């Protein structure tokens, strides 16, 4: 009996830990079960017919799909045709997109035999056992073929499996009682080796549930927080540390909800750092105290990164969505961590929340921007079935898209025109802030606006007026657009801004083609050759280039002569005309922002 667990991920770099966990649990607790659990992972960009062909060729006796907002449309299409190809093969669904309003889900997806809801490991094992028993009964009765009958035709025993909703033989729908939450330590570790995980994100879980009641979030439904035993966690961390993947992303909804648990893990990573792996955590910043800060202060740059949900700084909005975190405390912690210079911080905002209009959101934006996070995620409310805000949608006048991802269209406070404007701001933030490729340029331009939000708002208006949206611009073109924007707005001396843009451009990449806005370097050509000859002979500034010639050195690094003091300008905006030589070393990059190491020659 073969059960095929299928995931359709958003991108190739993603994986689906849910199906790996189901298989690992079944393999561990029934290692001699007379069945085979196979995994299949695709992406939403795969051609649908190619996915169908592969599933069909695997000849499964049952198929399970892991359903989320980003893949449910694709899965609905797949199973509609899959049922035509394999009419006797039962199809089961699971995942957050189908785990609420279960009867409606099964009526809307008539091809599905049932839904596994809640924690699925034990449920899946019992379902496997049920199918295997049915196979044995059919074989004993002299029937042939394990896929000839299924749960749609033979119901006996399914009513005993907690955590499923299923379609009976007469097509009526039955919802079995929910399954009690699990002891998380009993869930097997998902990885044996990482040979097949190159260039993919590795997900890991040390806790389930969330103690908070944020009304837009499905995690608020499960308030029973459970932690994996620390002795087990440390052994599993040792596995990652020995394998040295580039990143491990923890999927814990609020990693530091148990402070002792989180602190112990951070201490362990500090003491056993392999010098390579980055660990990503979603945390509540207001729970971070002095002891945690002391541990973070001593970490290698890039050892950990933090994702911190702010969502809003409007107090009335925060109360309406049950966000209890103090923005003042969040600010204190974020600022403190910023001074360490070793931890990437990603802060989130959500547009479309109750009581927050365009102006209010713009102030939330400015409040968070002032903290100078490494990334500022400007997202939009998604009204998820099963979340508290779904039940309050009419109260708050929230109108949202009828298809996934169910994103807000407008509210009592935010018009659709406002949403469109914020979408433009969001794209400008992604391109010119979150990319990390324009940091000096945007800091320069921000000095000419009364508020940071107005800079990104005006830049979005410029893109709209010049029909620059919905075009795949090169990185160099983005610099040129920014230069044209500054020129049209007469914001800053073009002579100054051209040099700031040049600094940003070469900070990230040793470009083969010199930008059109960059000032000529011809008069320093011979002096650069002389410098490279001295550097390869004496190694005063750079290391790691001992075996290269002076000509090779000039190709491997970039030397730029600025006609102003760039250090002083970036510190306080003061323009001091002078020659300042900068060397961009691309072999040594900032572990947080990936920019080249920059050295002053003289």
For the four alpha carbons of 355, 361, 365 and 367, in that order, the dihedral sign comes to negative
- Cβ burial, residue 236 (10 Å; 0-12/13-18/19+): middle
What is the arithmetic mean of pLDDT over 363-378? 98
**140: pLDDT strictly greater than 70:** no
Cβ atoms of residues 376 and 347 within 8 Å: yes
As beta bridge partners, residue 428 has none
Could you read off the pLDDT of 389-430 as tens digits, one per residue? 999 999 999 999 999 999 999 999 999 999 999 999 999 999
Calculate the dihedral angle through the C-alpha atoms of 428, 433, 435, 441, rounding to the nearest 10 degrees. Answer: 100
The per-residue pLDDT for 220 is 66
**Across all residues in the chain, what is the average pLDDT?**
94
The per-residue pLDDT for 152 is 42
Q: Which residues 6+ apart lie within 8 Å of 420 measured at CB?
A: none
Quick one: what percent of the chain has pLDDT higher than 90?
Answer: 88
Calculate the dihedral angle through the C-alpha atoms of 24, 30, 33, 38, rounding to the nearest 10 degrees. Answer: -10
Could you read off the pLDDT of 156-184 as tens digits, one per residue? 789 999 999 999 999 999 999 999 999 99
Could you read off the pLDDT of 552-599 as tens digits, one per residue? 999 999 999 999 999 999 999 999 999 999 999 999 999 999 999 999
Considering only CA atoms, give the Rg of the chain. 28
Residue 146 pLDDT grade (very low, low, confident, very high; cuts 50, 70, 90): very low
In 352-449, DSSP assigns E strands to: 375-380, 399-400, 408-410
What is the arithmetic mean of pLDDT over 216-223? 78
Could you read off the pLDDT of 294-343 as tens digits, one per residue? 999 999 999 999 999 999 999 999 999 999 889 999 999 999 999 999 99
Output the CA angle 134-136-137, nearest 5 degrees.
65
**136: pLDDT strictly greater than 70:** no
Enter the tokens of residue 574.
């003061």
Output DSSP code: residue 299: S
Question: How far, in Å, CA of 237 to CA of 255, rounded?
Answer: 15
Could you read off the pLDDT of 48-94 as tens digits, one per residue? 999 999 999 999 999 999 999 999 999 999 999 999 999 999 999 99
**143: pLDDT strictly greater than 70:** no
**End-to-end alpha carbon distance in the chain:** 73
For the four alpha carbons of 268, 271, 275 and 280, in that order, the dihedral sign comes to positive
Residue 142 pLDDT grade (very low, low, confident, very high; cuts 50, 70, 90): low
Question: How far, in Å, CA of 55 to CA of 184, rounded?
Answer: 31
The per-residue pLDDT for 211 is 87
Residue 35 pLDDT grade (very low, low, confident, very high; cuts 50, 70, 90): confident
**224: pLDDT strictly greater than 90:** no
The per-residue pLDDT for 34 is 79
């Amino acid at each position: 009996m073969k059960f095929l667990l299928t995931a359709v991920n958003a991108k190739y770099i993603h994986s689906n830990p849910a199906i790996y966990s189901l298989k690992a649990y079944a393999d561990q607790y029934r290692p001699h079960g007379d069945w085979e659990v196979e995994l299949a992972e695709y992406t939403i960009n795969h051609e649908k017919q190619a996915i169908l062909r592969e599933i069909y060729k695997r000849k499964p006796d049952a198929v399970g799909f892991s359903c989320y907002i980003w893949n449910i449309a694709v899965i609905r299409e797949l199973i509609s045709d899959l049922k035509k190809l394999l009419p006797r093969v039962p199809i089961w669904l699971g995942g957050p997109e189908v785990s609420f309003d279960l009867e409606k889900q099964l009526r809307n997806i008539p091809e599905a035999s049932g839904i596994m809801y809640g924690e699925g490991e034990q449920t899946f094992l019992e379902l496997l056992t049920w199918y295997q028993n049915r196979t044995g009964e059919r074989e004993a009765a002299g029937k042939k073929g394990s896929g000839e009958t299924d749960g749609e035709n033979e119901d006996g025993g399914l009513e005993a499996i907690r955590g499923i909703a299923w379609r009976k033989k007469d097509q009526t729908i039955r919802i079995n009682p929910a399954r009690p939450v699990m002891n998380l330590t009993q869930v097997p570790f998902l990885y044996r080796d990482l040979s097949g995980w190159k260039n993919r994100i590795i997900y890991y879980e040390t806790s389930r549930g969330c103690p908070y009641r944020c009304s837009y979030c499905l995690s608020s439904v499960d308030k029973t927080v459970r932690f994996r035993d620390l002795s087990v966690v440390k052994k599993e961390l040792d596995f990652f540390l020995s394998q040295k993947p580039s990143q491990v992303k923890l999927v814990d909804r609020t990693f530091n909800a148990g402070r002792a648990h989180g602190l112990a893990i951070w201490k362990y990573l500090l003491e056993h750092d392999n010098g390579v792996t980055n660990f990503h955590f979603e945390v509540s910043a207001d729970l971070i105290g002095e002891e945690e800060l002391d541990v973070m202060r001593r970490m290698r740059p890039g050892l950990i990164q933090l994702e911190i949900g702010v969502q809003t700084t409007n107090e009335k909005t925060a109360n309406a969505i049950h966000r209890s975190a103090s923005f003042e405390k969040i600010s204190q912690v974020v600022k403190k961590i910023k001074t360490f210079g070793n931890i990437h911080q990603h802060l989130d905002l959500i547009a479309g929340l109750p009581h927050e209009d365009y102006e209010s959101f713009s102030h939330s934006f400015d409040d968070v921007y002032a903290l100078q996070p490494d990334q500022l995620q400007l997202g939009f409310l998604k009204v998820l079935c099963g979340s508290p805000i779904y039940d309050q949608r009419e109260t708050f006048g929230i109108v949202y898209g009828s298809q996934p991802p169910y994103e807000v269209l407008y509210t009592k406070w935010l018009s659709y025109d406002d949403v469109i404007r914020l979408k433009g701001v969001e794209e400008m933030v992604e391109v010119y802030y979150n990319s990390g490729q324009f940091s000096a340029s945007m800091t320069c331009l921000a000095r000419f606006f009364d508020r940071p939000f107005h800079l990104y708002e005006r830049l979005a208006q410029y893109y709209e007026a010049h029909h620059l949206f919905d075009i795949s611009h090169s990185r160099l073109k983005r610099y040129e657009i920014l230069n044209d924007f500054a020129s049209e707005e007469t914001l800053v001396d073009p002579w100054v801004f051209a040099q700031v843009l040049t600094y940003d451009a070469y900070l990230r990449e040793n470009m083969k083609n010199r930008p059109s806005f960059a000032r000529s370097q011809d008069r320093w050509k011979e002096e650069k050759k002389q410098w490279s000859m001295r550097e390869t002979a004496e190694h005063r500034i750079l290391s790691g280039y001992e075996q290269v010639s002076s000509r090779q050195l000039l190709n491997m690094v970039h030397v730029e002569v600025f006609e102003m003091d760039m250090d002083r300008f970036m510190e306080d905006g003061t323009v001091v005309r002078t020659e300042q030589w900068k060397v961009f070393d691309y072999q040594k990059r900032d572990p947080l922002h990936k920019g080249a190491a920059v050295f002053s020659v003289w």
